A = this chain, B = another copy of it.
């Protein structure tokens, strides 16, 4: 009656969007709870928070598997929807199906155990306490394996593929092995060549101390330079840098080292890439599945675009140099900074790795996760596995150093198996985007030098950010770059930057 004639009523679809809007309100609090736990919460609050988060996860799971949804999903299929509404319906259906794979009590148990394990891990990691961490990790991995089994069986795919799909819908182990296999062909030689080339280059000595609050102020300056909207987000500290919150209020964190500002600042650049994506997701689809970031691989592509394609670019460092000099009262030249940020140095820590050796850290974790899930690796054997792999991939001995070895990451501690490949997928998508962008806009280095960072972001907004989950990942990347995932662009990027060829 009150509806304009031109608009065909879509009652089932409308019920679905209202229901998912409600779900997004509850997810608001799980995002807030996660951020707070990492950035603010004192240790003693962990038990209650874990219980509350588990209750909330169970409630959200209940909403996503609600009986009435099947009926509305069925009804919406026959309704006249726009292309974008069709996409939203596809994403709603996917969330419904994914949630229905797993029983609620497993969701609750996983959330509770993850909180318990993570909370203890913060101290245990500091103390290199592998014996203390081990039983928690075992419990978390067991739950993740149970989840993988259940998800895999229900979808008739392998258990590990089922985990990959949580973060990268449509991704398979086979596709990853092919992509990462290609990487294995050229990366070891490239690393050796770069190490040889850089052997005699001068090393920048970051002779701190650099005041933490000055580093923070510098970080905020860099965020503003990268277009972070402080009316819709903030910067804080946590032991493991991340980007959380919700699109209208994006919370990023970093950690500081008084002796060396370079890691905190580039961490901020990385997280700002995540944040821009979140802040610029399509306004019209806020609170709907189609309005969410496409996948964790695409998410990491945006952060790594900021960190590696932009951040480590000599032109960007020419812009950064006066800010660093001003805030930290030190006078490294732009060229010194560029050398520092492109220094290849096989090391223990993934988050501190340069972009050339970084994929090795992912290959290790990818192999370990597969082996956890197929049962060929146990938590007891993890340290040995780690040592052997680090020796093989990067020639580094990690015996006895659990803290900087298999205890360094938060992902497994919170039961997130299947996430790690996203980082290297992200690096590949980022390189692929940069080459596509340069076809349209010319060299990115010239754009930065000309003060046209805006046009870089405009390209990302148009091709990636504003699309949310309206397209599948393959279609998103194809429309943006002309082809689906192609690891060769990462190779080309690394050869250009590190060997000048």
Residue of B with least CB distance to A27: B52
Minimum CB–CB distance from A64 to chain B (whole Å) comes to 15
Task: Check if A332 is an interface residue, CB within 8 A of chain B.
Answer: no
The smallest C-beta distance from A460 to any residue of chain B, in angstroms, reads 21
Of residues 25 through 80 on chain A, the ones whose CB sits less than 8 Å from some CB of chain B are 25-26, 28-29, 32-33, 36, 40-45, 47-49, 51-52, 55-56, 59
Check if B246 sits within 8 Å of A42, measured CB to CB.
no
A325 to B446, CA, bound (A): 56
Is the pair B51, A25 in contact by a Cβ cutoff of 8 Å? yes
Assess the A232–B45 pair: CB atoms within 8 A.
yes
A207 at the interface (CB under 8 A from B): no
The CA of A246 and the CA of B52, in the complex, are separated in Å by 11
Residues of B within 8 A of A232 (CB): 42, 44-45
The docked-state distance in angstroms from the alpha carbon of A40 to that of B251 is 10
Chain A contacts with B in 1-44, Cβ cutoff 8 A: 22, 25-26, 28-29, 32-33, 36, 40-44
Counted per complex, copies of this chain come to 2
Any B CB within 8 A of the CB of A229: yes
Contact A36–B36 (Cβ < 8 Å): yes
* Size bracket, chain A contacts: 20 to 34
Chain B residues within an 8 Å CB radius of A56: 25-26, 29
A253 to chain B, nearest CB (A): 12
- Measured between alpha carbons, how far is A32 from B52 in the docked complex, in Å? 11
- Nearest CB of B to A18, in Å: 11
Which residues of B have CB within 8 Å of A128?
A: none
Q: What's the least CB distance linking A61 to chain B, in Å?
A: 14
CB proximity of A48 to chain B, nearest CB, Å? 4
Residue of B nearest to A234 (CB): B42
**Closest B residue by C-beta to A249:** B45
Closest to A28 in B: B52
Q: Please, how many angstroms separate the alpha-carbon atoms of A41 and B31 in the complex?
A: 13
Bound Cα distance from A41 to B248, whole angstroms: 10
The answer to whether A28 and B44 touch (CB under 8 A), given A22-B55, A36-B36, is no
Q: Which of A32, A33, A47 has the most CB of B within 10 A?
A: A32
**Chain B residues whose C-beta falls within 8 Å of the C-beta of A52 in the assembled complex:** 25-26, 28-29
- B248 A55 Cβ-Cβ under 8 A: no
Least distance between A465 CB and chain B CB atoms (Å)? 17
* A225 CB-CB contact with B under 8 Å: no
For the complex, give the distance between the alpha carbons of A28 and B56 in Å.
Answer: 10
Task: Determine the chain B residues whose CB is within 8 A of the CB of A26 once the complex forms.
Answer: 52, 55-56, 59
Give the distance in Å from the alpha carbon of A22 to the alpha carbon of B52 in the complex: 8
Q: Report how far A56 CA is from B43 CA in the complex, Å.
A: 25
Q: Which of B43, B49, B245 lies in contact with A28, CB distance below 8 A?
A: B49
Whether B248 pairs with A47 at a CB distance below 8 angstroms is yes
- For residue A231, CB closer than 8 A to chain B, the reply is yes
Interface residue A230 (Cβ < 8 Å from any Cβ of B): yes
Contacts of A248 in B (CB 8 A): 44-45, 47-48
**Is A29 a contact partner of B33 (Cβ separation < 8 A)?**
yes
Q: Would you call A231 and B42 a contact (CB within 8 A)? A: yes
Of A25, A41, A47, A49, the most chain B CB neighbours within 10 A belong to A25
Residues of B within 8 A of A32 (CB): 29, 32-33, 36
Q: Is A233 an interface residue when CB atoms closer than 8 A count as contact?
A: yes
Q: Which of A26, A45, A55 has most chain B Cβ within 10 Å?
A: A45
The smallest beta-carbon distance between A154 and chain B, in angstroms, is 28
Q: Which of the residues B22, B44, B245 comes within 8 Å of A249, measured between beta carbons?
A: B44
Give the Cβ gap from A287 to chain B, nearest Cβ, in Å.
Answer: 8
Q: List 21 A-B contacts (CB under 8 A).
A: A25-B52, A26-B52, A26-B59, A28-B52, A29-B29, A29-B32, A29-B33, A29-B52, A29-B56, A32-B32, A42-B230, A42-B233, A42-B249, A44-B232, A44-B249, A45-B232, A45-B248, A45-B249, A48-B248, A48-B249, A59-B59
Point out residues on A near B: beta carbons under 8 Å: 22, 25-26, 28-29, 32-33, 36, 40-45, 47-49, 51-52, 55-56, 59, 229-234, 245-246, 248-249, 286
Q: Which 7 A-B pairs have the closest CB atoms?
A: A45-B249, A25-B55, A44-B231, A28-B52, A44-B232, A29-B29, A25-B52
**Given A22-B55, A25-B51, A42-B232; 20 other pairs, CB 8 A cutoff:** A25-B52, A26-B52, A26-B55, A26-B56, A28-B48, A28-B49, A29-B29, A29-B56, A32-B32, A32-B33, A40-B234, A42-B231, A42-B249, A44-B231, A44-B249, A45-B245, A45-B246, A45-B249, A48-B248, A59-B59
